[in-house]
Amino acid sequence: METLQYILDIDPNAREKVFKKGHVLQREGDINVSAFYVKKGLLRSYIIDSKGKEHIFIFAPEGWIIADVESIEFNKPVELFIDCLEDSEVVIFDKDCFFQTSLSKEAVHKNTQLLYKRLGVLQRRVLMLMSAPAIDRYTYFLKTYPELPNRIPQHMIATYLGITPQALSTIRKKMATVP
């Protein structure tokens, strides 16, 4: 089942919108929590810490769903910013629609599959952050998201990896000289 069809299926209020690069769909402190399906373009979610530094949680290219699950699940105010890294077509839908009781079997299956996949990705991310040095995390990133480096600036890759742009630059230099 195609993800977009599934979303339109389960949320009759889902609406499609087009946003310009740079548009912020959700900011820290918001209370009206939605989830976003990326039909076209590229979104990201990130926090800004107490020192004003950005930390990117995930990138969401075409076909991905992006949302602040923690705030949805634990009813906290939104902590993640979500914005567009490219002009994007986005389907906005309600956080609660996953919990509808009237879903088709197919929709349930799709939903479970999506959640599972995301869990698997996050598991890997935690393990990498805990156990692998920055260079390995970068290599894994390149392997897993080969198309992204052409679409986003390097300093964003750095804040996704949990290091500074300077550190990433040094790593890249090292990789170029000793391949």
Partner DNA sequence: ATCGTTAATTAATCTAGATGAATGCATCAC
Partner DNA sequence: GTGATGCATTCATCTAGATTAATTAACGAT
What is the enclosing helix (H) or strand (E) of 60? strand 54-61
- Is residue 148 a contact residue for DNA (CB under 7 A)? no
- Is residue 105 a contact residue for a copy of itself (CB under 8 A)? yes
| Span of 9-17, 31-39, 93-101, 132-140 interacting with DNA by CB under 7 A | 132-140
Q: What CA–CA distance (Å, rounded) separates 148 from 154?
A: 10
Closer residue to a copy of itself (CB): 4 or 72: 72
Distances (CA, A) of 76 to 40, 96, 100, 130: 29, 15, 21, 26
99 touches, from a copy of itself, DNA, none (C-beta below 5 to 8 Å by class):
a copy of itself
| Span of 8-16, 34-42, 111-119, 168-176 interacting with a copy of itself by CB under 8 A | 111-119
Q: Decide: 143 and 120 in contact? Cβ < 8 Å.
A: no
Taking the CA of residue 136 as centre, how many other CA atoms within 13 Å lie in the half-sphere pointing to its CB? 9
Binding residues for a copy of itself, per CB under 8 A?
Answer: 47, 49, 53, 55, 57, 68-70, 72-74, 79, 98-99, 101, 103, 105, 108-109, 111-113, 115-127, 129-132, 162
